[in-house]
Structure formats: C-alpha cells, structure tokens
Amino acid sequence: MEFDYYVQLIKGRMGERRFIHSVNVSDAAVALAERYGADKEKARLAGILHDSCKEIPKDEMLQIISDGGIILDATEKASSKLWHAIAGSVYAKQTLNIDDDDIINAIRYHTTGRADMSLLEKIIFTADFISDERDYNDVEIMREKAFNDLEDAMLFGLSFTISNLADKRLPIHRDAIDCYNDILDKMTNLTKAKL
C-alpha cells in the first residue's frame, strides 16, 4: 500500500491537530532513521500510524484490543491513556494488514517504551517527543539529545513522563520503568567498560 493511502486514512480518523502531530512524528521518525541508520520507510509508516486510535471512542479501543486477543493488565486497565497504543498496534496488524512485527511493536510500545527496544521502537518513542508542533519547556534539549544520543534522549523523556505521572499520583506502567532501568543499566555498563 502507498504511504499516501495511509496518510488519507489517518486524516479521516482524527482531528486536525492530531493529524498534524502524526505527520510531524512521521517526519521526525524519518530524520532519526536517517541519523541512526534505520529503515526510513518503516519509520515513516510507523510514525504516521502511531496514534491511529487516539481519538476513537474508548469502548472501541477496548473492543479492538480484545479482538486482538490482548488481555490488559491491572495498570493498563486503570490507565486509559495507554489504550490507544495497544489498539493502534492491533488496528495496524489486523485491519491494515501490516505484517511487519517491528512496525507493530513500535506502535504498541510508543507510549510506555519497554526493555530491549529495537532501533525502530526507540525512534518512534523519541519522535513522539520531538515532533515540530511540540512546545513543552525542555523540547529543545530533547531535540538536541535525540540527534546526539538516542538512549540519552529516551532517558530524558522517560524521566519527564514518569515524574509527571508520579506528581499526579497516576499509575506508572512497568514497561516504562523497565525501559528506564534497561537504558540506565546499558549506559552504566558502557561507562564502566570505558574505565
């Protein structure tokens, strides 16, 4: 299927702001793929599709998730913000027939991250933080880190998200914590190896 087909499809599934975000994440993902030597077409596609289910009704998200045979854990049940990523991965796989597991996983884990992410997964996770329309306080720091050291950028993004959730007394998904610890562990071992 042509990329433009997916752009039009995504456009019909969300409001204008979210559509602009999707296009920007797709562009950022391509730029990161270029920087780190990942597959640009996979990055482009995963980027445009990553929030495909963000603006559908919650009961539809849950229906798609259950149709995909996925059973939500307790944190996921309690955190409806996590549903669009899981539903989006099922939608891409089952409805759009995208048969590339790396693309499907990049969509599924774009919100929480997880341990041992592939390069494509890391790129989509990070692209979501640096898309052109983002304007939170430290976005310029995040953009610089993203092109300088992908893992360092992820750690920065994760610590921002995790602190924010904790401040609001919201549940933190174990995949987000695993992702944080995994990257920290790999960075620390790398530093040790250099000594």
191 vs 99: CA distance, rounded Å: 38
126 vs 128: CA distance, rounded Å: 5
121 binds Fe ion (CB under 5 A): no
Minimum distance, C-beta of residue 85 to ligand DGI, in the bound complex (Å):
6
SS3 content of the chain, % helix, strand, coil (to 5): 70, 0, 30
Minimum distance, C-beta of residue 190 to Fe ion, in the bound complex (Å):
29
51 versus 121: smaller Cβ distance to ligand DGI: 51
Residue 81: contacted member of ligand DGI, Fe ion, none (CB under 5 to 8 Å, by partner type): ligand DGI
Which one of 45, 85, 117, 124 is in contact with ligand DGI (CB under 6 A)? Answer: 85
- Closest Cα to residue 100, out of 77, 124, 72? 124
Q: Is there a contact between 40 and 27 (Cβ–Cβ < 8 Å)?
A: no
- Per-residue binder mask for ligand DGI (CB under 6 A), 159-178, x = binder: --x---x----xxxx--x--
Q: Is there a contact between 176 and 113 (Cβ–Cβ < 8 Å)?
A: yes
Minimum distance, C-beta of residue 41 to ligand DGI, in the bound complex (Å):
21
C-alpha torsion sign, points 6, 8, 14, 16: positive
Q: Which residues form the interface with Fe ion (CB under 5 A)?
A: 51, 128
Q: Which residues form the interface with ligand DGI (CB under 6 A)?
A: 51, 54, 79, 81-82, 85, 110-112, 128, 161, 165, 170-173, 176
